[in-house]
Structure 1
Amino acid sequence: MKAWQITELGEPAEVMRLTDTERPVPADGRLLVKVLAAAVNFPDALMCRGHYQIRPPLPFTPGVELCGEIVEGDRAGERVIGTPLLPDGAFAEYALMDPAAAFTAPPALDDAEAAALHIGYQTAWFGLHRRARLQAGETLLVHAAAGGVGSAAVQLGKAAGARVIGVVGGPEKAAAAQALGADLVIDRHREDFVTAVKEATGGRGADVVFDPVGGDAYTGSTKCIAFEGRILVVGFAGGSIPAPGLNHALVKNYAILGLHWGLYNTYDPQAVRDCHTELTALAAKGIVKPLIGARLPFDQAAAAVQKVADGTSIGRLTVHP
């Protein structure tokens, strides 16, 4: 089969190579899946660089999210979504999956949309509901609101009845965030988001901040967080990991919450299954629908991962073998 492989660590565009390799062989109850669409995630880029918490042995095929069709066994023909078993990742014609982590693809979504539903929307749902306990009527501030996980947070925030303020970088991303339903969109290249959030909330600030960026986004968020607000730390796509001043959190009476969604697969897998059921229902009603920035042919996988690594993509990019 054809597969993209990493034999040395570095920038995705430089180290991802399209190769001919053996199709993975299922064993120990694993599922062989024909990949219909692979969604590009920021962790794919981190994995290429060797900066992710999971470091597969070289060589490996990156790609942590897919929509595929089971090709043999009792579930043959079923369209599923989820995370493949590394080192045989999603950027290949075939991949292996754990049966317990292969979720039935929502019928309301096509292959690209279904591939992009799992990680981003699960992350946003657990962050907003399990960690931050977002309530209807609260103000939610979403950084990188036109990105993969940020766009999911905008849609799920609106579904929860929150007032959503999205922060983006550039007019194209602003238009995308508006189309997703954000009540207010702030282009950080044109105005200071701290001032804009304070003005929009009458000086009160945001009740919940969804931050997959880190760096200046986090620092600014501490300046416009409401009394008893919650700052949700989701990732550091900006490349800088802030060192929070705990005295500031004490004085302003806000909470800093971390989210590592992958841990729920270990400690509370039933919650992950329940979330999938909820997301499937929301997709059936048209309330959530992944923002697909581009559907790309298989030979553009390396360029797609690099684009996400550089922060220039809008929504989710999907690759189709």
Structure 2
Amino acid sequence: MKAIEMRETGGPAVLQLVDRPRPEIGGPDDILVRLKAAGVNPVDTKIRSNGTLVPNGLPAVLGCDGAGVVEAAGEAVTRFKPGDEVWFCWGGIGGPVGNYAEYILLDNHLAQAKPREIGFVEAAAAPLVLLTAWEALHDRARLVEGQRVLIHAGAGGVGHVAIQLAKAAGARVCTTVSSPEKADFAHALGAEYCINYKEEDLVESVMAWSEGQGVDIALDTVGPEVFRKTVPAMAHYGDLVTILDPGPDLDLKEARVRNLRISLELMLTPMLRDLPRARTHQGEILRRCAKLIDRGDLRIHVSETFPLAQVQEAHKRLETGHVTGKLALTMD
């Protein structure tokens, strides 16, 4: 099979198209999936640049999420049969198991039935960002109907689904964007108010929108500077969630006075720490998101696709920092 292999860290050029043996069913619970598409995520570029997330992880096949068709199944598998369409988030953090390839072998319990109303490209681009946004909003911040929610980078991969998940839960949503075009995109997804962070002051804008109260929940998808700037835009007793390392030089005095609950979100933890119960929970999240997708309450925006062999171009595009929605690789 064709796969993209990384043998050393560095720029996009370290990603090389190679021939690898096609995986074979090795256990009774295995399924072999012929991949149709794979998501391209910022974590992929970070692993490529900085190294794998597991020891001795090179050579590695990147790509944490994918979608495809079950090609073969182990003797104990009852959930799927050959020909079934699946999506999942598994692999891609080091070693030979990843979704930048034509096939992947995984335990059938890690996969879920693909939403019926979207294609393989959208399904492949969705799991990592959906799990991140859902866990951040529902599991970390305990989102409830009627709350005011700030989503940073609302036109991005995590941001564009977070807007929709918050809206579906009955929240009022504001978001930050970098252009009028991205504001239009975010409004179409359900954002009530958009803040152009290049031209407007974050705290003043949030306070004007929230009638001086601040937001009940904020989701930082950008990094330490944005995390710090968000603290004074929070309502007292609010929830501030970040999907990145907020950095070592944090002054949390104002956060403490506001009695903020600060949470860290990394949806890769069940894979990194081998946590079966957490993986089961993530499977339930994907099933719930599939229902939202199939009834038209959640959409996945893929702005550009690349053939597997053009993965270097996909990484270059992602690293510009200006992608709307998601990017994906296609295998056909």
In 1, Cα distance between equivalents of 2:314 and 2:183: 21
Which residue number in structure 2 is paired with residue 58 of structure 1? 58
Cα distance in structure 1, aligned partners of 2:23 and 2:270: 27
Within 5 A, what are the aligned runs for 1:160-309?
Answer: 160-235=169-244, 241=247, 243-264=249-270, 266=275, 267-309=277-319
Give the distance between the partners of 1:54 and 1:179, measured in 2 at CA.
39
Q: 1:175 to 1:203 in 2, by over 3 A?
A: same
Contact 2:4 2:308 in 1 (8 A): no
CA displacement, residues 79-136 of structure 1 (integer Å, 9 cap, x when unaligned): 1111344523111111222211011111122111111221111211111111101121
Question: Equivalent residues in 2 for 1:149-168 (5 A)?
Answer: 149-168=158-177
For the aligned residue pairs, the C-alpha RMSD in angstroms reads: 1.9
Please state how far the C-alpha of 1:221 moved relative to its aligned partner.
0.4
Unaligned runs of 5+ in 2: none
- Pair 1:262–1:106, CA change in 2 (3 A): same
Gaps of 5+ in 1: none
Opposite residue 23 of structure 1, the aligned amino acid is R
TM-score normalised per structure 2: 0.89
1:224 maps to amino acid: A
Specify the SS of the correspondent of 1:48: helix
In the alignment, which of 96, 119, 132 is matched to residue 110 of structure 1?
119
Q: Which amino acid aligns with 1:142?
A: I
1:11-50 deviation line (CA, Å, top 9, x unaligned): 2x22111222222233234322111111111111111113
Letter in 1 for 2:128: I
Q: Does 1:120 align with 2:126?
A: no
Q: Please tell me the residue identity of whatever aligns with 1:40.
A: V
Matched AA of 2:26: A
Does 1:311 find its partner at 2:311?
Answer: no
Q: Structure 2 vs 1, CA of residues 129 and 61 (structure 1 numbering), >3 Å: closer, same or farther?
A: same
Contact 1:83/1:97, CA 8 A, preserved across alignment = no
Name the CA shift for 1:173/1:299 in 2 (closer, same or farther; >3 Å): farther
SS in structure 2 of the partner of residue 76 of structure 1: coil
The answer (yes or no) to whether the contact 1:142–1:210 under 8 Å persists in 2 is yes
User: In structure 2, do the counterparts of structure 1 residues 211 and 255 end up closer, same or farther at CA, with 3 Å as the change threshold?
Assistant: same
**Residues 9 and 51 in structure 2, CA contact (< 8 A), matched pair in contact too:** no
In 1, Cα distance between the equivalents of 2:235 and 2:20? 54
Write out aligned runs for 1:13-92 (5 A): 13-28=12-27, 29-51=29-51, 53-54=53-54, 57-73=57-73, 75-85=81-91, 86-92=95-101
Q: Distance in 2 between matches of 1:288 and 1:311?
A: 24
Structure 1 residues 90, 99: closer, same or farther in 2, change over 3 A?
same
Q: 1:246: Cα distance to partner?
A: 3.2
Q: Is the contact between residue 84 and residue 98 of structure 1 (CA under 8 Å) also seen in structure 2?
A: no
- Specify the code of the residue in structure 2 equivalent to 1:293: S
